[in-house]
A and B are shown apart, each in its own frame.
Chain A
Amino acid sequence: VLTRCGDDLFSITTESPRDAQSLARQLRAFGDWLDVIPGIDSVVLQFDAAMLDGDDVRQKIESVLAAGIEPLEISQSLVEIPVVYGGEYGPDLSALCKATGMSADAVIALHTGREYTVDMVGFTPGFAFIGGLDERLHVPRRKEPRQRVEAGSVGIADGRSGLYAMASPGGWTLIGRTPYKLFDPHAEPPFVLGAGMRVRFKAISAGEFNG
């Protein structure tokens, strides 16, 4: 579904996060847009309304859609993300254990026990939404978001893991934290993770985190 959602915006709904990422790349390759923002099940495109007419932009988007959304390229390499689970690093782990009836070790085994794919990056610089969480770990977002979540925090919510690349407010259930610097504005490239990348979490000790 293609809708005009502002004087300089179009929104396209998609079947999946992967389709959203793939469509966003196709759109970017096909025109000079201000921003093309893939979401979980949509793409928002901002165009320069001073230069372009909405109807022409709509036609361009329609022609991309008519050609079909290509499958998203999944990277071959696997990024391993070390995580200290629980304690001060994952302040919600014990509450999660209570809610799910699982031990901390069982939760950690589930979370580290499979490979994931990055669904999208967004919200704050480098924040990664990582899909494919085991159903036993599906919890909603917290009712009261925290004012501050530390950089590197690993949260879960709505069937996804979320990696806080920088400190920010946040409403995800925090189970651990990685020492990896996921966003460094002075580095090239500044982002460690991007959509379509394969990741796996690895449990480490607090000593390894600080060492």
Chain B
Amino acid sequence: MTITVIKPGLQSTIQSRPRVGLRHQGVPASGAADPLSLALANRLLGNVWDAPALEVTLLGPKLRFESECAFAITGAVGVVTLNGDEIQMHQSWMASAGDELAIGAAEVGARMYIAVSGGFAADNILGSSSTNLQAGFGGLQGRALLTGDVLRCESVVVGSARTPDEYRLPMSSSWAVRTCAASETHLLDEDSRDHLFNTNWVVARRADRMGVRLEGSKLTVSSDGRMPSAGVIPGTIQCPEDGSPYVLSIDSGTVGGYPRIAQVARVDRHVLGQLRPGDHVRLLQREPDDAVAELRGKLAYWREWLPDIDEVL
């Protein structure tokens, strides 16, 4: 069965799981910027957690179902309509042939996930169906949706489902993100180290799948600001020459030449996908083992609703 793209939205891509184990060949993670919301959408349709779904950014697409299809929407808060009538997120819906689904602007959070039963057909490249926009592979021809695209999915009949209230991911414009010291944290002068954890950071306009620039204080490092290229992962916080921390996200390069001043702990990495320009961010300092304990606590909580949570976060 097929779905026609009437309007593509600002940046809508097919995303699934990240690519893992290929960073030494320069292959970035890709995948849902907020994998928890992806898993929650797929859960409502009885899909595997990483069934390829649409990740839509800030302004969503308008789609027409060409035949009957079950779908669900999670993630950022926004107005969703089916044939002009507002419908709820966080539950499964059945669309009929000819139905039009319109995703409005995200009001809180940055990204919504549209899953369909059986998942979207997508190019599986290097172990994942996720779109890599920079290299142009995976997903739908390695690119974002365009008007007139036709998306294919398997139609599977599913029962109706709602996400229990306690498993709806809270969206906010003010976030707290747990971080640990990284390889070059010691290069920050004392004031800068204070600023890093005491500043109420503002997400800059430059906030995308590559990374998120934070503004509010200027940090200084006791070096020329450059270092030999070294490994980075999503959540690594660099201090570029302009002194504004840059948090690498899911599409970032695999090595970097700027000092790595902090590392977002795995427990909160999924939050990076929902940061939007103007949001406030506080970085919380954690010892590595404490952050691991918090990760395991979070996994234990989510496991009841998402049995595969260990692969999601």
Q: Report A's interface with B, CB cutoff 8 A.
A: 3-9, 11, 24, 33-44, 46, 49-51, 53-54, 120-127, 129, 141, 165-166, 168, 183, 185-186, 190-191, 194-195
B150 close to A (CB within 8 Å): no
Cβ contact within 8 Å between B254 and A123: yes
Expressed in whole angstroms, the minimum distance between the Cβ of A26 and any Cβ of chain B is: 13
B152 close to A (CB within 8 Å): no
CA–CA, A169 to B254, complex, Å? Answer: 14
Cβ contact within 8 Å between B135 and A122: no
Q: A33 to chain B: which residues have CB within 8 Å? A: 21
Q: Given A37-B231, A126-B26, A129-B229: A7 and B296 within 8 A (CB)?
A: no
Q: Report B's interface with A, CB cutoff 8 A.
A: 20-28, 125-126, 132, 134-138, 142, 180-183, 226, 228-233, 235-236, 253-256, 260, 263, 265-267, 286, 288-289, 291-292, 295-296, 299, 310, 313
Q: List 25 A–B pairs whose Cβ atoms lie within 8 Å, in order of A's numbering.
A: A5-B183, A7-B289, A7-B292, A34-B20, A37-B233, A40-B229, A44-B233, A49-B292, A49-B295, A50-B266, A50-B313, A54-B292, A122-B23, A122-B26, A122-B231, A122-B255, A123-B253, A123-B254, A124-B26, A124-B28, A124-B253, A125-B26, A127-B26, A185-B135, A190-B126
Q: Given A43-B231, A123-B253: A5 and B24 within 8 A (CB)?
A: no
Q: A3 to chain B: which residues have CB within 8 Å? A: 183
Expressed in whole angstroms, the minimum distance between the Cβ of B49 and any Cβ of chain A is: 15
Cβ contact within 8 Å between B135 and A5: no
Cβ contact within 8 Å between B299 and A9: no
CA–CA, A57 to B305, complex, Å? Answer: 30
Expressed in whole angstroms, the minimum distance between the Cβ of B24 and any Cβ of chain A is: 5
Cβ contact within 8 Å between A6 and B288: yes
Q: Given A42-B231, A122-B255, A125-B135: A36 and B24 within 8 A (CB)?
A: yes
CB-CB nearest in chain A for B136: A166
Known: A9-B233, A122-B229. 7 other contacts (CB 8 A): A24-B24, A36-B24, A49-B295, A54-B292, A122-B255, A125-B135, A185-B126
Cβ contact within 8 Å between B299 and A50: yes
CA–CA, A20 to B224, complex, Å? Answer: 23
Q: A46 to chain B: which residues have CB within 8 Å? A: 233
Q: B138 to chain A: which residues have CB within 8 Å? A: 185
